[in-house]
């Protein structure tokens, strides 16, 4: 069974707009990670947030974590056509196994 | 550094055949893992290893074997291929000793089982 579930499944926006993706999970976690996958490629790690952190930034990315609601969000500001990809949240419950959600497909129109 | 490499890129098998998917990393990472990705689903963990000589099962280990004789290599063996094993397979490694966070992924192997 999958630990994380992303919402929405697909998102289409105009270049320059912000994109927000959400992730919900079921059990307590050590950390939550976000990955990007371009079509036909492997995944690329974007950002990791630990269970004792509430917010983290990396460039145009902002991740929040609410452990009481078992949810996280990824915000991409001022999106670009190059941000078109699938985005996955992944949860780590014990250090050895990272469990991935089904992903959000983002399409940024130029 | 080449990072994580996988061979072959694409393979067609007949039901019942066996094969080995190769994975290698040149970053001296202790943690390595294998995932499969099916349409509409995220990645599902097949097997993982926290160091040479140590392997363990993930979410979907049935039908697959792994070994870890060196730090660099982590091959995945399909014992008797079935159409349900048609998928894209990704190998990954992590620089954090014994932990799966911040993984580096290979480009994937597309497997079709007829």
All residues of chain B having their beta carbon less than 8 Å from the beta carbon of residue A88 are 42-43
Rounded CA separation B32/B55 (Å): 9
DSSP 8-class letter at B10? E
Contact check, Cβ <8 Å, A88/B43: yes
**Residue of A42, A51, A101 best to disrupt the B interface, most CBs of B under 10 A:** A42
Q: What is the 3-state secondary structure (H, E, C) of chain A?
A: CCCEEEECCEEEEECCCCEEEEEEECCCCCEEEEEEECCCCCEEEEEEEECCCCEEEECCEEEEEECCCCEEEEEECCCCHHHCEEEEEEEECCCCCEEECCCEEEEEEC
In degrees, rounded to 5, the angle at the alpha carbon of residue B47 between the alpha carbons of residues B103 and A63 is: 30
Q: What is the mean pLDDT of residues B67-88?
A: 97
Residue entry with tokens 């966070």: B101
Query: What is the distance in angstroms between the Cα of A17 and the nearest Cα belonging to chain B?
Result: 26
For residue range B20-57, what is the model confidence (pLDDT) as tens digits? 999 999 999 999 999 999 987 789 999 999 999 999 99
Q: Do B101 and A31 touch (CB under 8 A)?
A: yes
Is A43 in contact with B102 (Cβ distance < 8 A)? no
Residue B98 — pLDDT band, cuts 50, 70, 90? low
Residue B97 has pLDDT above 70, yes or no: no
CB A91 within 8 A of CB A26: no
- Quick: pLDDT tens for A2-54: 567 888 999 999 999 999 999 999 989 989 999 999 998 999 999 999 999 99
Q: How far apart are CA B91 and CA B84, in angstroms?
A: 19
Residues linked to residue A88 through DSSP beta bridges, in sequence order: A35
Q: At which residue do the structure tokens 């993706």 appear? A: A21
State the pLDDT at residue A5.
84
């Amino acid at each position: 069974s999958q630990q994380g579930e992303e919402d929405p499944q697909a998102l289409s926006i105009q270049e320059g707009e912000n994109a927000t993706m959400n992730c919900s999970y079921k059990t307590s976690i050590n950390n939550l990670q976000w990955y990007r996958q371009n079509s036909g490629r492997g995944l690329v790690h974007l950002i990791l947030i630990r269970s004792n952190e509430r917010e983290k930034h990396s460039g145009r990315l902002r991740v929040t974590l609410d452990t009481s609601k078992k949810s996280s969000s990824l915000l991409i500001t001022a999106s670009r056509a190059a941000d078109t990809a699938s985005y996955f949240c992944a949860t780590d419950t014990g250090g050895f196994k990272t469990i991935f959600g089904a992903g959000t497909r983002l399409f940024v129109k130029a | 550094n080449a990072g994580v490499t996988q061979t072959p890129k694409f393979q067609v098998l007949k039901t019942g055949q066996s094969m080995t998917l190769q994975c290698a990393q040149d970053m001296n990472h202790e943690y390595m893992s294998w995932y499969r990705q099916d349409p509409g689903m995220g990645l599902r963990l097949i097997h993982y290893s926290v160091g040479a000589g140590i392997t363990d099962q993930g979410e979907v280990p049935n039908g697959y074997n792994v070994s870890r004789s060196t730090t660099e290599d982590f091959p995945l063996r399909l014992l008797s291929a079935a159409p349900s094993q048609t998928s894209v397979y990704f190998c990954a490694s992590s620089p954090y000793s014994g932990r799966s966070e911040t993984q580096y992924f290979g480009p994937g192997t597309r497997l079709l089982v007829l």
